[in-house]
Amino acid sequence: MVEAKNMCMRYNKCGDNALEDISFFIDRGEFVFFVGSSGAGKSTLLKLVIRELRPTEGELKVFGRDVGRLPRHRLPYLRRNIGMVFQDFRLIEERTAYDNVAFAMMVTGATRSEIRKRVPHVLGLVGLQDKAGARICDLSGGEQQRAGLARAIANRPAMIIADEPTGNLDPGTTLDIMNLLRSINLRGTTVLVATHNRDIVDRFKKRVLYLENGRLVGDEQKGIYTHVH
């Protein structure tokens, strides 16, 4: 589902590599944490997967396609199949939870009747059935991230990518959101999470890819946060 082969990423011609000789394979249906300190390259890696960036060297395949060489007209297909979840939610604050999910479906060409059926369903999946009509700015941080998850799964993506999804949340809410991501994964969606959150990584016992200064220094099934060299 995601395969990197000797991938390097450099932002500036004369700068250092943000990612250096990265190779890994992530299968359909996996749940993977990317961990590493700030600046290790986690966000860069996720941006490569969604083709916000292109590898400078090497190859990155997503859904079997070399995304570095993907023509522009194939990008909507790639992005429709990936649901994004952000640390700062990136929702439309003045609009309702319902509208935020509905907009995400509208831009991919869903019909009105699909939207009317699907939005209440996904809001229910994340426990927001009673807040569909509430504006995002009137919701708590945890509720906003639930809305973010609902939006991410609205188009039934094959993969969810979450960059520090719990970075702005308290520990209890963090656990709720991670449990939701796990249940989304159990329904068959591949989930990639970049995080600093040691407690969560240790508790969930999922595969962990360790980044350090742009290098992949470890890859453990049922890993814990701290990589032992």
The footprint of ligand ADP (CB under 6 A) covers: 11, 18, 36, 38-44
Torsion of CA 56, 87, 63, 51, to 10 degrees: -30
Which residue, 39 or 188, has its beta carbon nearer to ligand ADP? 39
> Helix, strand, coil proportions of the chain in percent (round to 5)?
40, 25, 35
Radius of gyration for the alpha carbons in the chain, expressed in angstroms and rounded: 18
Give CA–CA dist 72/69, Å, rounded.
9
Closer residue to ligand ADP, CB minimum distance, 44 or 145: 44
Nearest distance from C-beta of residue 8 to ligand ADP, angstroms = 12
CB of residue 124 to ligand ADP, shortest distance in Å: 33
Choice between 60 and 154, CB closer to ligand ADP: 60
Q: Cβ 192 to ligand ADP, closest distance in Å?
A: 13
The tokens for 221 are 């099934």
Q: 151 with 100: CB under 8 angstroms?
A: yes
**Least distance between ligand ADP and beta carbon 194 (Å):** 6
In the complex with ligand ADP, which residue's Cβ is closer, 18 or 162?
18
CB of 210 to ligand ADP, least distance (A): 11
Position 175, amino acid:
L
* Nearest residue to 153 via CA among 83, 65, 223, 62: 83
In the bound state with ligand ADP, the residue whose beta carbon lies nearer, of 5 and 215, is: 215
